[in-house]
Amino acid sequence: MLSLHSLLLGGIAGYLVGSIPSAYLITKWKTGVDLRKEGSRNIGAMNAFEVTGKRSIGSLVLAADLLKGLLPALILELCRPGNPATTTEALLVLIPALALGHCYPVWLRFHGGRGLATVAGALLLVNPPAIIFWLLVYFIVNRLSRQVHFSAILASGAALLVLLVLPVHFLEETTVAMSTPGHSGSELKISIGVALIIILSRHIEPFLALVRGKKPSEMKEDE
């Protein structure tokens, strides 16, 4: 049973930080464009770049989304409470909470991005091999298909499948976060798995659009 302190630290704080709509705010500030009404209408780095045509804006959004995941995890590591178990629980709750916040932000009526960069930011500190595997599958598939959405959903799906069959001890040995002790491999599996499911939920529509033969520029979030 998770403690109330863990839920507050990891769950509520993670959701609120994850729900900061970086792409919407940066694009609105720099160009006045509302991403909810342009392009794919996705609140993410790719749509920010495609709508504005400015690589600098896309890169800025990507960096902000990565930091949304990295900084909360880092703060938990540096400001560890007296009870290490509380920090571990908070970190495990934080990862899916960040994904939920980014994908379904309360500030934009639950219309957000797809959560990849934000979760990647947290996992860079917790379990870097997970990100390396995802990127490897993504680049291979993207090289063959040239479809960003197809590559992302296949990489996320592959990561989820591998996570299900991966021995717990391997996950424990590749975890680098100081606050996550060796015996929490099973819990970390669940944490990352839930985050991946949330991410996949935001890729269903663009994937179905690809299956129907639509071009990426023709995909609309509300269709």
Residues 23-57 pLDDT 10s:
999 999 999 999 998 888 889 998 999 999 999 99
Q: What is the DSSP letter of 212?
A: T
Q: At what angle do helices 116-126 and 185-201 cross, to 10 degrees?
A: 170
For residue range 157-169, what is the model confidence (pLDDT) as tens digits? 999 999 888 888 8
Predicted pLDDT of residue 179: 60
Half-sphere exposure of 142 (CA within 13 A, CB side): 13
Where residue 1 falls among pLDDT bands split at 50, 70, 90?
A: low
| Both tokens assigned to 64 | 């902000």
Q: Which of 15-29, 76-90, 144-158 has the lowest mean pLDDT?
A: 76-90
Give mean pLDDT, residues 87-97. Answer: 87
Distances (CA, A) of 36 to 112, 150, 176, 198: 9, 22, 37, 20
Where residue 223 falls among pLDDT bands split at 50, 70, 90?
A: very low
Q: What is the DSSP letter of 9?
A: I
- Apex CA 188: angle with CA 18 and CA 164, to 5°? 110
| Both tokens assigned to 186 | 């099973």
Q: Scanning the structure block, which residue is given the tokens 């990862």?
A: 95
Instruction: Report the mean per-residue pLDDT for the chain.
Output: 85
